[in-house]
Structure 1
Amino acid sequence: MRCYLRAWLLCMAIFSSLYVFNHLAHTLEETNGRDLGELETPEGGSRDTGNDFKNRTVLAGGRVRKPVRCNSLSVSYWNPFWRLPADVCGLNCFVESSSRDRMDSEAEDGGDESIHLAVAACGPKLDETLLKSAILFSKKLIKFHIFADDELQGSFQNALILKEVDSLLYVDTDILFLQPVEDIWAFFSQFNASQLAAMALETEDLRIGWYNRFARHPYYGSAGINSGVLLMNMTRIRETFFKNDITTVALKWSEILMPLLQKYKLKIPWGDQDLLNIIFHHNPESLYVLPCQWNYRTDHCVYGHNCQQAEKDGVSILHGSRGVYHDENQPEFRAIYEAIRQYPFGDNMETALLQPLEASLRTTTNSYCGRVSHLFTKRLKQSIASVQQEVTRGR
């Protein structure tokens, strides 16, 4: 079973308040005594783009602070997880906003709420570009919860549970944010009284759908759902009883997961995603369906343009499934990944991120997805313009 199933088992443990199978490796927490007046850009304008995330405390909007050594305990937990240098921050570090002063005043009034972003690492390393894309455009405080898969379990002694977290955004490690994380977080406010999770459909075109053609288990609706981007109201999940095909009695999440896995383990090639499809097949009223531009994959452009919301509004979250960031099969997806990966924190986003990306995308017009490359930059341009305005006002 692919590593996504192991990652999903970690997230299921969050939902059900069971102990997670691996240690919570990294939670970025707000600390006191720091403000925008302390911000500095690197001396000499360093171009060490590949290691920017490793050796600087990073602020949303691309501004940076000179490296600050974290508490030794934090570093000791961080270092064996990502195998990064010891000067990288761990449990007690935080991601600030380019609007930190405003956030502090909102927090005093009780109006601020942190965003909780979770990701599970398969293997010994997690690609930093995901975290970088989340930081670049967001103005709210983001707390990262990074779970190691069971290959790293021996590195950690104690298991933790996120009992105090009410809501969570879980994403696959091949996700790139092209607009602020708080924009997808806002969908929580659109949930009705019964909805407790949000995902996008697996496809908008049944002619190319996987579930309606090949699935050997129940799935959501007529097309199934994709778990690469998942909003979770964890309070509701912990309190809800779910209908199922195991028993006539509705079960809590902690009671339903393992029996479902045992029943369907030979029929769920996509692991976590298949289990979610089974659960929400029987509980469709509990799911909010995200528009497809919030989980845009190659299938949306390779087989014709079948994400109408992206055609209208642009792509908000890019999902590079099947390793497309690291091969030549979809050069436009790789171009976006490389542009964000190579962008040096603190540089002008217009000239150091957007313009190089647009130049790369112009070389991909012979591919199906390259012909709609304007969809990839539409939201990105708006995000960059917003950040640049914040930077200008903060000077």
Structure 2
Amino acid sequence: MKLLLRALFLLLFASATVFYFLYVDGGTAPTSDATTVLNLSTSNPRPIVKDELVSLTTPRTRPENGPGEVVLAVVACGDRLAETLVMLKSALILTQVPVRIIVFAEDDLIQSFNEKLKEWSLLSDLHFRFEIRRIEFPVNGKKDEWKKLFKPCASQRLFLPTVLEDVDSLLYVDTDTLFLTPLEHIWRHLSLFNSSQLAALTPEHEDRATGWYNRFARHPYYGPLGVNSGVMLMNLTRMRAFGWIEYVLPIYHEYKLRITWGDQDIINILFHFHSDKLYIYPCRYNYRPDHCMYMSVCESADKEGVAVLHGNRGSFHSEKQPAFRAIYRALEEYQLGSDPYNNFLLPMKHYLDETSSTNCGKVRRIFLKSAEQFINKIYD
């Protein structure tokens, strides 16, 4: 009996020793299935499935833009196809660096965008790549509610950090914008951000007497006059690290009955509480009719010329702002790949001269200054 007990003891000891060296001292403990591993980083441990286990143990590739590449993003819905294409055309005329164009579009616009951008891509002097994506809103959100917030689909910009995980930074613009300076001159502001800043915007107004937010807003807003979100530089990597989307949804639910300008108001509310996260660039990068309809109030445009023209409130398509309509007309008529001096700059000068009796037409030199400088430099 003693010999039997001794043999059993030795067998158990040997088994324990083998287990230690195989599974504890540098080995891997056996599991019957990946679902037996628990996520202990949460207060309520839960099983991790195999795919999730891989994502936790394998480092993700850091989002990067292409070498020297500017990423330009826009959202187009409804009747904004033609307007968006004119904007993209303006971006490609002056820009001398590679461009990645990302268009978020409704299903019925995707084919038209594909056809036109493929046609442009065949022009040898243009260096850009493009992708067309469907509109994406939060899975757990109310899609129709987000889609109809202020302008059709404009709130898509709020979710770019989530839906563009492969992109480090981008320049987002509304469809009703036109570039009168190379994209790279706007893009350089990303390098001027301090370590806290994750986005760049311009003030909504330059004058308190005509400001909208300081007179009418029923919610918090950034700074003394608020900001306009039509031309927005975004460091998506920093926005994701900040937890951007975790702020956006609660803000919307709390203030949705008090906002007027949709996603722009949400952005203002967020930066009101996190003002250190926002970089402000001059009004010349988002020049609107309000800057000249009574008198010229954008000092940076007076000195250096308009960089980005923003024809909000339908200014490109109505008779209320002839100067804005004139610039849009010149770009709409221009054929990419042709001589920009004779076929864009000279017609724009001619059309602007016809608006000389209007307040914005009286300062028409500021619309020509930047574009003329770069066209002469690039195409001489």
TM-score scaled to structure 2, two decimals? 0.67
| 8 Å contact from structure 2 (residues 105, 135) kept in 1 | no
* Structure 1 residue 125, shift from structure 2 partner: 4.3
Counterpart check, 1:374 vs 2:371: no
* Structure 1 residue 151, shift from structure 2 partner: 8.5
- Match of residue 178 from structure 1: 180
2:272 to 281, 292, 304: 281
For 1:387 and 1:331, locate their aligned partners in 2 and report how far apart those are by CA, in whole Å. Answer: 29
- Match of residue 296 from structure 2: 305
- Match of residue 139 from structure 1: 96
For 1:385 and 1:350, locate their aligned partners in 2 and report how far apart those are by CA, in whole Å. Answer: 8
How many residues get paired? 268
| 8 Å contact from structure 1 (residues 120, 173) kept in 2 | yes
1:123 to 55, 78, 86: 78
- Match of residue 143 from structure 2: none
- Match of residue 213 from structure 1: 215
- Match of residue 66 from structure 1: none
| 8 Å contact from structure 2 (residues 304, 370) kept in 1 | yes
For 2:180 and 2:79, locate their aligned partners in 1 and report how far apart those are by CA, in whole Å. Answer: 26
For 1:158 and 1:217, locate their aligned partners in 2 and report how far apart those are by CA, in whole Å. Answer: 28
* Structure 1 residue 205, shift from structure 2 partner: 0.6
For 1:195 and 1:235, locate their aligned partners in 2 and report how far apart those are by CA, in whole Å. Answer: 11
* Structure 1 residue 149, shift from structure 2 partner: 5.1
For 2:227 and 2:184, locate their aligned partners in 1 and report how far apart those are by CA, in whole Å. Answer: 22
- Match of residue 30 from structure 1: none
Cα pair distance change 1:329/1:156, threshold 3 Å = closer
Larger Rg, first or second structure (1 or 2) = 2
| 8 Å contact from structure 1 (residues 124, 151) kept in 2 | no
Structure number with greater CO (CA < 8 Å, separation at least 6) is: 1
For 2:349 and 2:168, locate their aligned partners in 1 and report how far apart those are by CA, in whole Å. Answer: 39
* Structure 1 residue 152, shift from structure 2 partner: 7.5
2:374 to 379, 383, 393: 383
For 2:263 and 2:107, locate their aligned partners in 1 and report how far apart those are by CA, in whole Å. Answer: 15
Deviation digits for residues 289-329 of structure 1 (CA, Å, limit 9, x no counterpart)? 01000000000001211101111111010000000111111
- Equivalences for 1:185-224 in 2 at 5 Å? 185-224=187-226
For 1:164 and 1:112, locate their aligned partners in 2 and report how far apart those are by CA, in whole Å. Answer: 14
2:311 to 316, 320, 323: 320
Runs (5+) with no aligned partner, structure 2: 1-64, 111-131, 137-161
* Matched letter for residue 143 of structure 1: R
Root mean square deviation of aligned Cα:
2.2
Deviation digits for residues 103-127 of structure 1 (CA, Å, limit 9, x no counterpart)? xxxxxxx993211111011215422
- Equivalences for 1:210-359 in 2 at 5 Å? 210-240=212-242, 252-359=243-350
Runs (5+) with no aligned partner, structure 1: 1-109, 241-251, 390-395
